[in-house]
């Protein structure tokens, strides 16, 4: 591997190097303090809506101790090659082929969001290529509520409703109830919303393919054996802390740290707290139990984290109506209600399509919802937050305050 030694953030927007592996094109940039650096390189793998320039701060922080490689597999980041036929596992195998072709020493992958699934699969399937592994925003478990929201996003894109898709996606990435804690400003939220709203047809197709890969993924048959660090934003609703902890528990040698005052974009919202863990972990040092902005979970806690991510309680007005677009409206009792979902009871029909439902409640505008399960306890549901006005009304209603926890959808 020949590394560039003239790194500056401006270079991250320059044309990448391209490695052709059969019919697949891999885009990458590689930087180090010396061109023939033989140390284990950090490999950065990003998530949806991210490009090389998203990692300017990380590259700057890491270059003092490690070579750094940024990699866009087909359909990722700035790589526009479409690969609907490739699974997550096959894309992870391409990382190993990349390492073989360039004769790289064992890598130090950092995988974020969608990139976390690829990095974890690479480490599990190709242990000789992976020295240490760092993950944030685990996306590969298929929690029913998360799968439902992913499917709804794809349906909205198929209908050409980019506005509704963008608002739902933004709510998944940035927990609107916790903006004060996470420090996410209105300017950043608006910029990210515009970016998602303005996805090109090619971007939409890449997002569709990548999301479908996650939906098709059947789970890990084996977990990474190398030393692994999993970072979980404490307010991350899309990939919840208990999912991160469970993944760490299933690995042979993993730790899980909660990043305080962060959600799904922990590494951007609380950069100093994350960076404070990156360096000692990548050096192979013992991690502190507590460090500024984070807490390391004890091994015995990993399978014990609370799965109720938000408090739910009956609203003051329990009576409501449930409407479906194909006709019909039913009286329901709202047993539990939270910003992200709730539980209804009523004499409801079976077999209606899962899309097209609205909750009509006196204190709120009509709220689109997605049924999650229906059993003796009632109808559990999630809110897709695809209607901006309706979602904002929910934000106003559910600003954080102390409530007793109740079963979550």
Q: What is the pLDDT of residues 33-60, one digit of tens each?
A: 999 999 999 999 998 888 999 999 999 9
- % the chain with pLDDT above 90: 84
pLDDT at 400: 63
Task: Give the SS3 label for residue 135.
Answer: strand
Q: How confident is the model at residue 174 (pLDDT cuts 50, 70, 90)?
A: very high
β-partners of residue 18 are: 27
| Residue 146, pLDDT above cutoff 50 | yes
- How much is the pTM? 0.93
pLDDT at 401: 52
Cα distances from 180 to residues 257, 367, 398, in angstroms, run 21, 24, 14
pLDDT at 405: 36
pLDDT tens-digit series, residues 272-309: 999 999 999 999 999 988 888 999 999 999 999 988 87
pLDDT at 327: 79
pLDDT at 49: 81
| Contact between residue 363 and residue 338 where contact means Cβ atoms under 8 Å apart | no
| Residue 310, pLDDT above cutoff 90 | no
Segment 127-138 mean pLDDT: 96
pLDDT at 403: 38
Minimum mean pLDDT among 153-162, 264-273, 400-409: which range? 400-409
| Residue 404, pLDDT above cutoff 70 | no
pLDDT at 193: 95
Q: How confident is the model at residue 88 (pLDDT cuts 50, 70, 90)?
A: very high
pLDDT at 313: 84
Considering the chain, what is the average pLDDT of its residues? 92
Residue with tokens 């990139």: 115
Domains defined along the chain, listed by start: 9-142+217-301 (3.40.50.1820), 144-171+185-212 (no CATH), 319-397 (2.40.10.430)
Segment 354-358 mean pLDDT: 94
CA distance 31 to 275: 19
Reported as type and span, the H/E element at residue 117 is: helix 114-125
Rounded to 5 degrees, what angle do the CA atoms 29, 115, 264 make? 120
| Residue 392, pLDDT above cutoff 60 | yes
CA distance 376 to 50: 43
Q: What is the arrangement of strands in the sheet containing 254-259, beginning at the earlier edge strand?
A: 17-21, 24-31, 68-72, 42-45, 108-112, 133-136, 228-233, 254-259, 294-296, 290-291
Reported as type and span, the H/E element at residue 271 is: helix 271-283
């Amino acid at each position: 591997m020949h590394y560039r030694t003239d790194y500056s953030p401006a270079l991250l927007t320059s044309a990448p190097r391209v490695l052709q592996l059969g019919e697949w094109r891999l885009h990458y940039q590689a930087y180090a303090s010396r061109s023939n650096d033989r140390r284990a390189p950090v490999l950065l793998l990003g998530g949806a809506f991210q490009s090389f320039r998203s990692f300017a701060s990380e590259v700057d922080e890491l270059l003092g101790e490690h070579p750094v490689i940024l990699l866009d597999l087909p359909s990722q980041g700035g790589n526009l090659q479409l690969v609907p036929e490739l699974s997550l596992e096959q894309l992870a195998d391409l990382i190993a082929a990349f390492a073989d072709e360039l004769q790289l020493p064992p890598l130090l992958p950092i995988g974020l969001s969608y990139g976390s699934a690829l990095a974890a699969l690479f480490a599990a399937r190709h242990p000789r290529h992976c020295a240490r592994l760092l993950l944030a925003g685990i996306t590969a478990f298929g929690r029913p509520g998360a799968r439902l929201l992913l499917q709804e996003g794809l349906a909205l894109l198929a209908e050409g409703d980019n506005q509704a898709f963008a608002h739902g996606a933004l709510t998944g990435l940035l927990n609107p109830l916790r903006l004060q804690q996470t420090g996410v400003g209105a300017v950043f939220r608006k910029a990210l919303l515009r970016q998602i709203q303005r996805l090109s047809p090619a971007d939409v197709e890449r997002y569709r393919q990548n999301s479908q890969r996650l939906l098709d993924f059947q789970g890990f048959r084996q977990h990474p054996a190398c030393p692994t660090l999993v970072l979980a934003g404490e307010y991350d609703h899309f990939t919840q802390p208990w999912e991160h902890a469970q993944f760490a528990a299933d690995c042979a040698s993993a730790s899980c740290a909660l990043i305080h005052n962060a959600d799904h974009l922990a590494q951007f919202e609380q950069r100093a707290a994350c960076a404070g863990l990156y360096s000692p972990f990548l050096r192979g040092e013992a991690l502190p139990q507590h460090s500024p902005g984070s807490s390391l979970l004890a091994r015995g806690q990993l399978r014990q984290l609370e799965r109720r991510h938000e408090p739910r309680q009956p609203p003051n007005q329990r009576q409501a109506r449930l409407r479906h677009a194909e006709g019909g409206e039913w009286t329901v009792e709202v047993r539990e209600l939270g910003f992200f979902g709730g539980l209804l009871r009523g004499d409801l029909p079976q077999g209606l399509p899962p899309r097209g439902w609205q909750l009509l409640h006196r204190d709120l505008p009509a709220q689109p919802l997605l049924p999650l399960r229906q059993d003796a306890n009632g109808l559990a549901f999630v809110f897709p937050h695809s209607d901006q006005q309706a979602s904002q009304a929910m934000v106003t209603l559910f600003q954080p305050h102390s409530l007793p926890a109740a079963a979550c959808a």
